[in-house]
A and B are shown apart, each in its own frame.
Chain A
Amino acid sequence: MKKNKILEIKNLTVNVGDFLLKDINLKVNEDDYIIILGNSGAGKSILLETIAGMYKSQKGEIYLNGKDITFEKIQKRGVGIVYQDNTLFQHMSVKKNLEYGLKNRKHTKKDIDFLTKEISKKTNITKLLNRSCREGLSGGEIQRISLARSLLTNPKLLLLDEPLSALDVQAREEMQNLLKKIHENGQPIIHVTHNPEEAFALATHLVIIEKGTITQQGTIYEVLNAPETKFIANIMGIKNFFKGSLEKYSDDLFLFKAPNLTFFVSKPKELESQKKIKNLMILSKDILVFKENELEDNKKLYKNFFEATVFNIIYKRNRVEITGKLENSEAYLSSTIPIEKYESMNLKLNQKIYLGFHPESAKVF
């Protein structure tokens, strides 16, 4: 079945002060939950606010349900927005906040009462309706009310700007579940965040912005499998990512040449790819750590074998990530080993170690 396209952005360029958002192309289908990931200052919020109509574009078009809304006023777009900050109207009660959008759309009082009650149940804010917004609301409550207020206007597209960032762990989880439910009920969503965890929890589709341009988009699986930049690899939790060129070494072995560093890799499947600069990634779990006394036994087993010093040690739930700074190189390799193994190895910072991995563990794309 063909999916309905909700939003389409073509070659959008937006200039705000010194900041330039350039050549943005984006499509949102009716069942998408899009997460836009990027550092602060990458232009995520500006993109979101441009979709909402708060910034004028210098170039390009924005289509909502097939209609060109590039120059449409904010109040006529039918796009809802929820921010990280508290944007409740402080001089009104919670109920009045919810009713605000419905009153603008001239609903009858009966309708307003019914719809307000219904959304309050869904977002679990019924008990708060008569409260003042001035005091006593928790961060989670504020976000649920903002969300309910926006949903009441029945937006064609819901825009969320870091909606979970100001929340504590429990409130964040509740809000996350609520967002999931709202999406499952058919609400197309674009959600902007700097936190990859939110992408893993919610996204059907991922868009990564760096310095005002989209550097990659696709499903989480696609992005995880072939991150386009060091930054993307990093936020996706892939520590060992290099850019370099490929050279034939033997029938089934190739050399991957990164600056100051060469790896043995297996013959890539898609060698015919025209790209000159290739990406290489090695999952941390595929790299093994050895101490000096294990050197002789393992050196010959691994085609890729490096001397290093321990640069960093981080616990990651049931594994421990060991980052080693390679000898005679500015590069780092990270390995995650089971916590039991780490405890038995007794590693210290700056200690000499060896890192090894097989050519088939390296993925070139």
Chain B
Amino acid sequence: MLKNKTNANFSSLHLIFMFFGGVVFLFIVAPLFSLFLKTPFIDIKEAALDKEVVSSIYLTISVSMVGTLIFSIFAIPLAYLLSKKDFLFKKIITGIIDLPIVIPHSAAGIAILGIISRNSLLGTTAEYFGYNLIGNPLAIMLAMSFVSIPFLINSARDGFSAIPERIEKTALSLGASPLKVFFTISLPLAKRSIFSGLILMWARGLSEFGAVIIVAYHPIITPVLIYERFSSFGLKYARPVTVLFLIICFSIFILFRLLSNEKK
């Protein structure tokens, strides 16, 4: 299982580390594994036929994906600037970008609610066009994106930082405009990190519960649905939805990972 890169010499240190590592691994795997073991297949099948479950899974996955794609248009240029340029308050800005990761997600939900409520600028504008943002998929998208966008920015920034400046300078000296250098050199070279950031953002978005439940209980997303079934009917009823959601998310994940490895 564990292969030393130079030779297969196991020291006692490696054995001790394997023990400690094994504890962590079990800690992650055991709850998930028991979840699958305790849920009869027939219940999962039933959940898959439940319209409310299916539409919530579809809503969760698609809203998170749309949010990720829309915000990536703004997040990638920001990540590029953060990796390549020095500017005033850069450290503070970098710190602020990580804020959504460290604040409680219910607090994030309250904050989002503040900018979309009826008396906010965004809210009144939407209302003018006949929309109510509260309880709208758009609100869910904002909540999901708010808590997950740091993952994309950080990953893309690391990707851009790994490109030696001299490669971009050389491209400029070969007559390409800065915009062309960005699209033909920087972006393709940082592709893997950006892709991995997109997946992380999307995954973090679709697993969000705290912020979303505050801005929109309905339309119901799967994490909220799981909570609702648990609090109204108990553990037994919450499990099938949970397992189904996990299976679908895992499958999409693995598919994306395979795709990104193939591109390599």
B130 interfacial contact with A, CB 8 Å: no
A335 interfacial contact with B, CB 8 Å: no
Q: CB within 8 Å of B: which of A192-208?
A: none
Are B172 and A74 interface neighbours, CB within 8 A?
yes
- A32-40, A79-87, A115-123, A346-354 - the one binding chain B: A79-87
Residue total for B at the interface (Cβ-Cβ under 8 A): 19
Task: Quote the shortest CB–CB distance from B150 to chain A (angstroms).
Answer: 27
Task: Quote the shortest CB–CB distance from B153 to chain A (angstroms).
Answer: 22
Bound-state CA distance A74–B180 (Å) is 13
Are A75 and B173 interface neighbours, CB within 8 A?
yes
Task: Quote the shortest CB–CB distance from B194 to chain A (angstroms).
Answer: 13
Task: Quote the shortest CB–CB distance from B4 to chain A (angstroms).
Answer: 24
| Interface flags, B178-192, vs A, CB<8A=1, else 0 | 101000110011010
A49 interfacial contact with B, CB 8 Å: yes
CB-CB under 8 A from B184, the residues of chain A are 100
Point out the residue from A80, A81, A85, A153 that lies within 8 Å of B164, measured CB to CB.
A85
Are B167 and A89 interface neighbours, CB within 8 A?
yes
CB-CB under 8 A from A359, the residues of chain B are none
- Of B164, B169, B170, B176, chain A has the most CB atoms within 10 Å of the CB of B170
Point out the residue from A74, A89, A90, A91 that lies within 8 Å of B173, measured CB to CB.
A74
Are B177 and A52 interface neighbours, CB within 8 A?
no
SS of B interface (majority): helix
Residue in A closest to B178 when the chains form the complex, CB atoms: A75
CB-CB under 8 A from B188, the residues of chain A are 91
B31 interfacial contact with A, CB 8 Å: no
Point out the residue from B169, B180, B191 that lies within 8 Å of A52, measured CB to CB.
B169
SS of A interface (majority): mixed
| Interface flags, B138-178, vs A, CB<8A=1, else 0 | 00000000000000000000000000101101111111111
- Of A54, A80, A104, chain B has the most CB atoms within 10 Å of the CB of A104
Are B176 and A100 interface neighbours, CB within 8 A?
yes
Residue in B closest to A96 when the chains form the complex, CB atoms: B184
A244 interfacial contact with B, CB 8 Å: no
A150 interfacial contact with B, CB 8 Å: yes
Residue in B closest to A76 when the chains form the complex, CB atoms: B175
A149 interfacial contact with B, CB 8 Å: yes
Given A91-B188, A104-B180, do A80 and B173 touch, yes or no (CB 8 Å)?
Answer: yes
CB-CB under 8 A from A105, the residues of chain B are 175
CB-CB under 8 A from B167, the residues of chain A are 87, 89
A60 interfacial contact with B, CB 8 Å: no
Bound-state CA distance A14–B10 (Å) is 55
- Of A49, A74, A80, A83, chain B has the most CB atoms within 10 Å of the CB of A74
Are B176 and A83 interface neighbours, CB within 8 A?
no
Are B176 and A87 interface neighbours, CB within 8 A?
no
CB-CB under 8 A from B172, the residues of chain A are 53-54, 74-75
A268 interfacial contact with B, CB 8 Å: no
CB-CB under 8 A from A153, the residues of chain B are 174-175
CB-CB under 8 A from B174, the residues of chain A are 75, 80, 100-101, 104, 149-150, 153
Given A75-B175, A104-B175, do A81 and B180 touch, yes or no (CB 8 Å)?
Answer: no
Task: Quote the shortest CB–CB distance from B173 to chain A (angstroms).
Answer: 5
Are A75 and B177 interface neighbours, CB within 8 A?
yes
Point out the residue from A80, A91, A101 that lies within 8 Å of B189, measured CB to CB.
A91
Task: Quote the shortest CB–CB distance from A302 to chain B (angstroms).
Answer: 54
Are B166 and A85 interface neighbours, CB within 8 A?
yes
Given A104-B176, A104-B180, do A74 and B169 touch, yes or no (CB 8 Å)?
Answer: yes
Point out the residue from A81, A87, A101, A146 that lies within 8 Å of B175, measured CB to CB.
A101
Are B169 and A100 interface neighbours, CB within 8 A?
no
Are A81 and B173 interface neighbours, CB within 8 A?
yes
Report 15 cross-chain contacts, Cβ distance below 8 Å, ordered by A residue.
A49-B169, A53-B172, A53-B173, A74-B173, A75-B173, A81-B170, A83-B170, A87-B167, A91-B188, A91-B191, A100-B174, A101-B174, A104-B174, A104-B175, A146-B170
Nearest 3 CB-CB pairs, A to B?
A: A101-B174, A104-B175, A74-B172
